[in-house]
Amino acid sequence: MSAYDRNNVFARILRGELPCKKVYEDEFALAFHDIHPLAPVHVLVIPKGEYVSQADFCAQASDALVVGFWRAVARVANELGLEAEGYRIVANHGPNGGQLVFHFHVHVFGGRPMSHRMGNMPRPGQQE
């Protein structure tokens, strides 16, 4: 996978150069609503650091950041009220995974039952 591009859209959101609809932030992570929601709740959680993908994040990030990031994902789902009914988390990796933005991120989907077509998630802007 190619090197981290500091001008990717999520890097620019992290630097405050582009707006986002923020739902949560701590020292490890920022969470905001996806611009093309595919569910009643569709939030992205991104780590504070320059990581292209899940593999890059797990290989390069400190233990504290990996733990802090995943705790933030769980906290976001909790604070959005998704725990009782359930939710889905997805991380797309590389071309075959359908990754479009090359700053590691986790999608949190909730607010309706998810289909079980986990290998065939819709592209942004498409209906499931």
Binding site for ligand AMP (CB under 6 A): 9, 18, 20, 34-36, 44, 92, 98-101, 124
CB 103 within 8 A of CB 46: yes
State the nearest-atom distance from the C-beta of 107 to ligand AMP, in Å.
Answer: 6
Phi, psi of 52 (to 5 degrees): -70, -40
107 is an active site residue: no
**Which H or E element spans position 95?**
helix 94-97
For ligand AMP, which is the closer residue by CB, 44 or 61?
A: 44
State the nearest-atom distance from the C-beta of 92 to ligand AMP, in Å.
Answer: 4
State the nearest-atom distance from the C-beta of 43 to ligand AMP, in Å.
Answer: 9
For ligand AMP, which is the closer residue by CB, 41 or 44?
A: 44
Choose the catalytic residue: 33, 42, 93, 105: 105
For ligand AMP, which is the closer residue by CB, 44 or 108?
A: 44
Residue 49: left if φ>0, alpha if ψ -120 to 50, beta else—which one? left
Phi, psi of 79 (to 5 degrees): -70, -25
- CA proximity to 35, closest of 56, 12, 53: 12
Q: Catalogue the active-site residues.
A: 105
